Structure 1
Amino acid sequence: MRQTEVCVRPFGGLPRRGVSLALTGCLILAAVGAATVVRAVTRDTRDIALPGEAAYPESITATADGTLYVSNFAGGGVTRIEPGASSGEVWITPGAFETRSTFGVLADEASGTLWVCSNDLSALGIQGPSDVKGAALKGFDLKTGAGKVSAPFPVSPAICNDIALGPDGAAYVTNTLGPQILRLKPGSQTLEVWKTDPLLAPEGKDAGLDGIAFGPDGNLYVDTFTKAKLFRIDVKDGQAGAVTPLTPSRPLVLTDGLRPLGDGAFLLAEGGGRLDRMTVSGDTAKVEVLRDGVAGGVTGAAKVGATAFITVGQLAVITDPARKGTKPELPFRVLAVPLTAR
């Protein structure tokens, strides 16, 4: 049946002029509907260049308008990418507000804050932009970029890796060098240990806790980098409960950034070169590949509309002794990955 037939039949009892007006209105609605369909299936395919020869992106986050923020594992600072732009510009200067190498970034629009993990990586031979010691969670004004929160880690050794926002408005952060998840309550400048558990401890010289995100069930989900393990931490009334290992549906490689998709699933970055969609059912994590074969590894992901933006870290160039003397592929990039409608 043609579109005009579908439109006209409900108005069969109207005079000719009424039918004409009804048909015109129906065709307008049909055109609007078609335009809506076109917008719904439009996918962002940008390949975004990051500035500098040592950008080494570790994490990415987005605000509701599509602005992206990217950290810098080696040089520090934060790059901002305006909506629709094909390149980024340094927004938070390396070393600003006593920062060093930057890891996790998370936009908290409710409080107008960009949360940033700052770390001293000099022990790895990565000097960063200053000589400030230790790890800290920093908060910058989302409009001006001015520093407003500085919360050093109260435990050692420590690497502030990534951040999640809880239902209580607090920032929760992972410690890669220890078994702790820390919490910064709204309005506070002091991090507290929220959960520690032997299951979350790194093994030997392995990098431990990394990605972190709250699920729709109110529980907290984390992963570890080197061993690529997944865990659920039960949460009740803001208090941490039992830690449960999750079994992935396939082997994972160097699990990194973890972000909620908003539909009950998560975006999961793998340093082995994949972006995944992860859905948890019971103690099992179903892992579906959204993009594979990303040379340089995927370190972080952020969702904007029907698109996931991923950072290509190339971190092995400066962390793997076997890669010493090699050069990164320039420019460093953020890639767009279309998300399949569900």
Structure 2
Amino acid sequence: MAETNISLPDAAFAPEGISHDTSGNLYVGSLTQGRIVKISPKTGDVTEFASAGANGLVTVVGVHVEGNQTFACSSDPGISALTGTAPAALVAFNTETGASTGRYPLPEGGIFCNDIAVLPDGTILATDSFVPRIYALKPGGDQLEIWLDDSRFAGEGFNLNGIAYDNGAVFAARYNTGTLHQIEVGKDGQAGAITDLKMSVEIHGADGLTALGDRRFLIVEGGGLSAGARGALWGATVSDGKATLEAIAGDLNVPTTATVLGNTAYVVEGQLDHLFDADNAGAADAYRILAIELPETFQ
């Protein structure tokens, strides 16, 4: 596999979420165009997977490929060409064909579907950044349920963000506090005790979260939404209520999420500061997906 950075030819694409399938193809969503593209890391070729507005896409946030299903969080923070056309939802597509296979609106006043993970039994989880909840779509289910609702995740701005499952627990990153939280999963699959993990390093804008196994994770630090923000990719090891962080790559251009193929992390530079800071609304730099070789401790 060619481990080189990938340029997105569309200067207005504004990428955020990323995932990959079993063949090694990348899937990346657009915040401003409401579509998802498929990318070959070997060639850098970019093809359409889900066209603008497909299945009610508005602003594509988290993307997660799970076998023959590709899930995406569609929300509406007012930055998309499709703003106002559909409510926030978890949406699903056939991974092979791109055909729509399901649409699951956020229940009971849900606002902002952000990121996605899966439990061992196939339950899909999705965070809400503006309501302190995690939603669940059970295997064979036709609607989202509230899996967790906890006031500790309430606050101004973006709250719950990246989410991942590892070794009997769900881990969630909180954007506006830069923190990581561990949520036990009971034998019945329901949310259990929550531990607010002590961070060995203060980070700003905890966004994407990727589980590597053995309580090791990648955390994408967005750096915040103000003009000139920079970010980083961190490795984190969780033990005894603490997250010990190790810097992997720094000075990234407001990164958002990552996915791992082999020993390479593909990290999206989303440049959110150009979308959410009115004083910095000029043209972003060329959008890229960075190919970052992981150190041995996080392979």
Question: TM-score interval w.r.t. the shorter chain?
Answer: over 0.9
Corresponding residue number in structure 2 for 1:269: 220
- Report 1:91-170 matches (<5 A): 91-109=49-67, 112-122=68-78, 126-129=79-82, 131-170=84-123
TM-score of the aligned structures, taking structure 2 as reference length: 0.93
**Residues 163 and 171 of structure 1 are in contact (CA less than 8 Å); yes or no, is this contact kept in structure 2?**
yes
Deviation at 1:287, TM superposition (A): 0.8
Larger radius of gyration: 1
Instruction: Report if the CA contact (8 A) 1:227-1:254 is conserved.
Output: yes
Structure 2 distance, partners of 1:100, 1:133, is 7
Q: Distance in 2 between matches of 1:136 and 1:47?
A: 31
Distance apart, 1:59 and its partner CA: 1.1
Q: CA deviation at 1:83?
A: 4.1
Measured in 2, the distance between the counterparts of 1:261 and 1:44 equals 21
Gaps of 5+ in 2: 224-230
Counterpart mapping for 1:1-342 below 5 A: 44-109=2-67, 112-122=68-78, 126-129=79-82, 131-201=84-154, 203-204=155-156, 206-216=157-167, 218-237=168-187, 238-272=189-223, 273-295=231-253, 297-324=254-281, 326-330=282-286, 332-342=287-297
Residue 31 of structure 2 contacts residue 80 of structure 2 at CA under 8 Å; is this kept in 1?
no
Counterparts of 1:127 and 1:71 in 2: how far apart (Å)? 12
Structure 1: 5+ residue stretches without partners: 1-42
The CA distance in 2 between the partners of 1:315 and 1:225, in whole Å, is 13
Contact residue 44 and residue 336 of structure 1 kept, 8 A: no
Q: Which is helix-richer, 1 or 2?
A: 1
Q: In the alignment, is the contact (CA less than 8 A) between 2:88 and 2:112 conserved in 1?
A: yes
Instruction: After superposing the two structures, state which structure 1 stretch, 78-87 or 100-109, moved more.
Output: 78-87
Matched with 1:26 is none
Q: Measure the CA separation in 2 of the matches of 1:164 and 1:84.
A: 26
Cα shift at 1:44: 4.5
Q: 1:182 to 1:287 in 2, by over 3 A?
A: same
8 A Cα contact 2:5 2:288, kept in partner: yes
- Structure 1 position 263, deviation (Å): 4.6
Instruction: Decide which structure has greater strand share.
Output: 2
Deviation at 1:333, TM superposition (A): 0.7
**How much does 1:147 deviate?**
0.4
Preserved contact between residue 117 and residue 165 of structure 2 (Cα < 8 Å): yes
Residue 117 of structure 1 aligns with an amino acid whose one-letter code is C
> How far does residue 45 in structure 1 lie from its aligned partner after superposition?
2.9
The one-letter amino acid paired with 1:257 is: G
SS at match of 2:12: coil
2:182 is paired with a residue of what secondary structure? strand
Alpha-carbon contact 2:90-2:113 (below 8 Å) kept: yes
- Aligned residue pairs total 289
CA displacement at 1:157 relative to structure 2: 4.6
Runs of 4+ deviating beyond 4 Å: none
CA contact (8 A) 1:117 1:161 kept: yes
